C-alpha cells in the first residue's frame, strides 16, 4: 500500500459494571464455572510450537489452594536457548515489517480482549490471582486493552518525530528495532503488565522472550494464545516458564541480549542489573534496562483535609486486591485533630469488608497470592503484636486452611520509622502515624525520607497553601502523585505510571517514554547536490 495510514484514535476501554442482571455478569459467571472445574495444561511456546516437557508445576487458586487450575510445563536451559534461536529467526522479518502490519496485530488483540476473550481472561485472573470481578475488569480487560491501543498511537508519534533538512539535502530518522532480543520478566499482580511488557517492545519491531510469573500463569497463558489468534507471527514472542534464576542466568549470558523489560521487586531487579553490568564486554550492544519495582506508598493529610474522603481513600487504597498493588497505600500520616473522625469512619468500613472466594461477588477481598506471601505478611503481624508502641486497631488475623487469607489490618504506631512504615509488605496492611497538627512541615520531611522508594503518594488538604507546600516538599517522593485522591488506579493515557529512587527506572509504562527505550534510531542524510571540488572558497587567492 502506498500512503500514510492514520492510526485509529484510542479511547479508554469502558469499565463494565457486572451488576446483577447485566449480560457481562452472566458471561463472566459462566466462564468462572467452566474454568474452575478444569485443569488445563500450559505448554512452553517457542517459535509458535507448543512444547510439553513433562516437568509440571501446579497452578492453584490462592483462595482455594487445593484447586489445581493448570499444570504448567517448565522449560530447562536447553529450551531457553532454543527460544533465543527462535527469536533470532523471527527477527529478520518482524524487524523489517511495515509498522501498519505490526500495529494491526496488537489493535486486533485489543479488540479480541475487549470482546470475545474478555470473560476468559478476567475469569483466569480471578481464579488464578484472586482478584474480584471489578479488580480483574480494570486490570486484565481495560488496562491491557488501553496499553495495546494507546501504544500504537505513541509509536506513531515517535515515528513522526523527524529532523529538519537544510537546502539540497534530506535528513531522516529511522526508528530501528534493537539488534537482538528483549527479555520480558513479568509480575503476578497485574495481568495487564504481563501483557504489556512483551508487547510494547514487540510493537516497535523487537523480538521477545517472555518469562511470566508462575503465580499468574493461567491468565498469562490465555493472553499468549490471544496474541497468536491476533496474528502474531511465530517466534516474535516466546513464552517460557521455568525456574526464574536459571532462565535469567541463561538469557543474561547471551550475546544477543538487547534489553530487559522487568516489573517486580527491587531486589530481583538489582540482581539482574548487576549481572548485566558484570558481563558488559560480552554483549553485542548496551542492553536497555527498564524496571518498575517496589513501593511504600504514602497518604499524608493536612488538618484542612476532608476526613470522609480521606477515610475512603485509605480503605480502598490499602485493601483493594489485598494490598498487592505496587501503588497500594501502605503508610499514612494523619493530623491529631482529624484522627478521631477518620478512625471511626475507617473502622466502620473495615468491619463491613467481606473476604473470601472471589466467585462470590459480595466479597471485596480475596486471598494473598501464595504461601510465601502469607508467611511474610503474617511474620510482620506477629512481630507487630509483640512490639511496644504498636497498636493493631483492626484485623491482624489470618487463616490458611482453605486459602491464604489475611484480614484487612490497620496498625497505629508511635514511632514513624517503625519497620512496617518503611518496608514493602505487599499485603492488606496499612500502618498509620498520628502527628501533632503543628508539625505539618516536619511531617512532610518525614514522608520524604522514611522509605527508599518513590512510587506513588497522595496528599489530602483543602488549604491551597498546604497543597503547594506538599507539592514542593514531596517533589521527588513519588512518580505518581495524587491530590485528594487515593494513590492507586492509574489509567493508561491519563496517569502514565512509574516511580523513581528504589521504585525503578521510571520509564512510565503505557507512554511514549517507555516505547522510546525499545528503538535504536538511525539518522540518514542524503545529499542531493554533493560537492565536486575538495577546495573551500576561503582557500582561493584574492
Ligand atoms: P518478584 O520480584 O518476586 O517477581 C517478578 C518476576 O521476577 C517474576 O516473573 C518472578 O518469577 C521473577 N523472578 C523472581 N526471582 C527472580 C530471580 N532471582 N531472577 C530472575 N527473575 C526472578 O515480584 P512479584 O511478587 O511478582 O511482584 C510484586 C513486586 O512487583 C512488588 O515489589 C511490587 O511493588 C512490584 N511491582 C511494581 C510495579 C511498578 O510499576 N513499579 C508494578 C507491579 C508490581
412 and 285: one domain?
no
Do 318 and 451 lie in one domain? The reply is yes
Ligand 1 atom with the smallest distance to the CA of 190 is 43
pLDDT > 80? residue 177: yes
CATH code of residue 52: 3.40.605.10
By most ligand atoms within 8 Å of CB, the mutation choice from 143, 187, 293 for ligand 1 is 187
Active-site residue, selected from the candidate residues 64, 137, 326, 424? 326
* 101 & 238 share domain: yes
pLDDT value for 88: 98
Mean pLDDT of 468-476: 98
Please provide the average confidence, as pLDDT, over all residues in the chain.
98
pLDDT tier, 236 (very low <50, low <70, confident <90, very high otherwise): very high
- Return d(Cα 241, Cα 73) in angstroms, integer: 7
Q: How far apart are CA 165 and CA 221, in angstroms?
A: 47
Say yes or no to pLDDT of 168 above 80.
Answer: yes
pLDDT one-digit tens code per residue, 356-395: 999 999 999 999 999 999 999 999 999 999 999 999 999 9
Question: 31-40, 157-166, 533-542: which has the minimum mean pLDDT?
Answer: 533-542
The phi, psi pair for 526, rounded to 5°, reads -115, 125
Distance 51 CA to ligand 1 centre (A): 25
Place of cell 475487549: 114
Q: Is residue 381 domain-shared with residue 440, that is, in the same domain? A: yes
Residue 142 among the catalytic residues? no
Q: How confident is the model at residue 542 (pLDDT cuts 50, 70, 90)?
A: confident
Answer yes or no: do 90 and 148 share one domain: yes
User: Tell me, what's the pLDDT at 149?
Assistant: 98
Please indicate, yes or no, if residue 497 is contained in any of the structural domains: no
* 423-442 average pLDDT score: 98
Express each pLDDT in 102-119 by its tens digit. Answer: 999 999 999 999 999 999
Nearest to 87 by CA among 234, 299, 281: 234
Runs of H (alpha helix) within 232-370:
244-252, 266-278, 307-319, 339-352
180 & 215 share domain? yes
Buried b (16+ CB within 10 A) or exposed e, 98-131: ebeebbebbbbbbebbbeebbbbbbbbbbbbbbb
CATH number at residue 345: 3.40.309.10
For residue 114, is it within any domain? Answer: yes
Q: How far apart are the first and last CA of the chain?
A: 56
The answer to whether position 14 is within a domain reads no
Ligand 1 atom 19 nearest Cα: 245
**Domain-located, residue 18:** no
CA 269 / ligand 1 centre spacing (Å): 8
Look at residue 426 and tell me whether its pLDDT is greater than 80.
yes
Mean of pLDDT values over 50-55: 98
261 shares its domain with 405: no
Q: What is the pLDDT of residues 66-101, one digit of tens each?
A: 999 999 999 999 999 999 999 999 999 999 999 999
Annotated catalytic residue within 64, 292, 320, 424: 292
Find the residues whose C-beta lies inside 6 A of ligand 1. Answer: 185-190, 193, 211, 213, 244-245, 248, 263-265, 268, 271, 292-295, 326, 424, 426, 455, 497-499, 503-504
Judgement on whether residues 198 and 329 belong to the same structural domain of the protein:
no
Atom of ligand 1 nearest to the CA of 185: 9
Q: How far is the CA of 217 from the centre of ligand 1 (A)?
A: 14
Q: Do 285 and 305 reside in the same domain of the chain?
A: no
222 & 364 share domain: no
Do 329 and 187 have their domain in common? no
Residue 384 has a pLDDT of 98
Q: What is the pLDDT of residue 2?
A: 84
* Same structural domain, 358 and 460: yes
Known active-site residue 292: yes
**DSSP label at residue 437:** G
Query: Does any domain span residue 373?
Result: yes
How confident is the model over 313-338, as a mean pLDDT? Answer: 98
Q: Is residue 516 part of a domain?
A: yes
| Partners of 210 in beta bridges | 184, 239
pLDDT value at 1 more than 90: no
Based on the structure, what is the number of domains in the chain?
2
Task: Decide: 330 and 425 in contact? Cβ < 8 Å.
Answer: yes
Please state the atom number of ligand 1 nearest to the C-alpha of residue 186.
Answer: 9
Angle at 232 between CA 51 and CA 128, to 5 degrees: 60
Q: Measuring from atom 12 of ligand 1, which residue has the nearest CA?
A: 244
Domain range enclosing 451: 297-483
The DSSP string of 487-513 is: S----TTTS-B--EETTB----BSSHH
In a domain, 531, yes or no: no
Examine residue 62 and state whether it is found in any structural domain, yes or no.
yes
What's the alpha-carbon Rg for the chain, to the nearest Å? 25
pLDDT surpasses 90 at 4: no
Q: How confident is the model at residue 289 (pLDDT cuts 50, 70, 90)?
A: very high
Interval between CA 129 and ligand 1 midpoint (Å): 14
Amino acid at each position: 500500500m502506498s500512503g500514510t495510514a492514520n492510526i485509529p484514535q484510542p479511547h479508554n476501554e469502558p469499565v463494565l459494571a457486572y451488576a446483577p442482571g447485566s449480560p457481562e455478569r452472566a458471561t463472566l459467571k459462566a466462564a468462572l464455572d467452566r474454568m474452575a472445574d478444569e485443569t488445563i495444561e500450559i505448554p512452553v511456546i517457542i517459535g509458535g510450537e507448543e512444547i510439553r516437557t513433562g516437568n509440571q508445576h501446579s497452578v492453584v487458586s490462592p483462595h482455594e489452594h487445593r484447586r489445581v487450575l493448570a499444570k504448567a510445563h517448565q522449560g530447562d536451559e536447553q529450551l531457553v536457548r532454543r527460544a533465543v534461536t527462535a527469536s533470532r529467526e523471527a527477527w529478520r522479518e518482524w524487524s523489517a515489517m511495515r509498522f501498519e502490519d505490526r500495529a494491526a496485530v496488537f489493535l486486533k488483540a485489543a479488540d479480541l480482549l475487549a470482546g470475545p476473550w474478555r470473560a476468559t481472561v478476567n475469569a483466569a485472573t480471578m481464579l488464578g490471582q484472586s482478584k474480584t470481578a471489578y479488580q480483574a475488569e480494570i486490570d486484565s480487560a481495560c488496562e491491557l486493552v488501553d496499553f495495546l491501543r494507546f501504544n500504537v498511537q505513541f509509536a506513531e508519534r515517535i515515528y513522526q518525530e523527524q529532523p529538519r533538512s537544510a537546502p539540497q539535502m534530506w535528513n531522516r530518522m529511522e526508528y530501528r528495532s534493537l539488534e537482538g532480543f528483549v527479555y520480558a520478566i513479568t509480575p503476578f499482580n497485574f495481568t495487564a503488565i504481563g501483557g504489556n511488557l512483551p508487547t510494547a517492545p514487540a510493537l516497535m519491531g523487537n523480538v521477545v522472550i517472555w518469562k511470566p510469573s508462575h503465580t499468574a500463569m493461567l491468565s498469562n497463558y490465555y493472553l499468549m494464545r490471544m496474541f497468536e489468534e491476533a496474528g502474531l507471527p511465530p517466534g516474535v514472542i516466546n513464552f517460557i516458564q521455568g525456574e526464574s534464576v536459571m532462565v535469567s542466568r541463561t538469557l543474561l549470558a547471551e550475546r544477543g541480549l538487547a534489553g530487559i523489560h522487568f516489573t517486580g521487586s527491587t531486589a530481583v531487579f538489582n540482581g539482574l542489573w548487576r549481572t548485566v553490568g558484570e558481563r558488559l564486554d560480552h554483549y553485542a550492544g548496551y542492553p536497555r534496562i527498564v524496571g518498575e519495582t517496589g513501593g511504600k506508598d504514602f497518604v499524608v493529610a493536612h488538618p484542612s483535609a476532608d476526613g470522609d474522603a480521606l477515610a475512603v481513600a485509605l480503605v480502598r487504597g490499602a485493601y483493594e486486591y489485598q494490598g498487592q498493588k505496587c501503588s497500594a497505600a501502605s503508610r499514612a500520616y494523619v493530623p491529631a485533630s482529624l484522627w478521631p473522625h477518620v478512625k471511626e469512619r475507617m473502622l466502620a468500613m473495615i468491619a463491613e469488608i467481606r473476604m473470601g472466594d472471589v466467585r462470590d461477588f459480595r466479597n471485596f477481598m480475596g486471598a494473598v497470592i501464595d504461601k510465601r506471601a502469607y508467611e511474610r505478611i503474617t511474620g510482620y503481624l506477629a512481630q507487630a503484636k509483640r512490639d511496644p508502641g504498636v497498636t493493631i486497631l483492626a484485623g491482624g488475623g489470618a487463616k490458611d486452611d482453605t486459602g491464604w487469607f489475611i484480614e484487612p489490618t490497620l496498625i497505629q504506631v508511635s514511632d514513624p520509622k517503625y519497620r512496617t512504615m518503611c518496608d514493602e509488605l505487599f499485603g492488606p496492611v496499612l500502618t498509620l502515624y498520628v502527628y501533632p497538627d503543628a508539625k505539618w512541615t516536619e511531617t512532610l520531611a518525614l514522608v520524604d525520607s522514611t522509605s527508599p522508594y518513590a512510587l506513588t503518594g497522595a496528599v489530602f488538604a483543602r488549604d491551597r497553601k498546604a497543597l503547594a507546600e506538599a507539592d514542593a516538599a514531596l517533589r521527588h517522593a513519588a512518580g505518581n502523585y495524587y491530590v485528594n485522591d487515593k494513590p492507586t488506579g492509574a489509567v493508561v493515557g491519563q496517569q502514565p505510571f512509574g516511580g523513581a529512587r528504589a521504585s525503578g527506572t521510571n520509564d512510565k509504562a503505557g507512554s511514549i517514554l517507555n516505547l522510546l527505550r525499545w528503538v535504536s534510531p538511525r539518522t540518514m542524510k542524503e545529499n542531493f547536490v554533493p560537492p565536486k571540488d575538495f577546495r573551500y572558497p576561503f582557500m582561493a587567492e584574492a
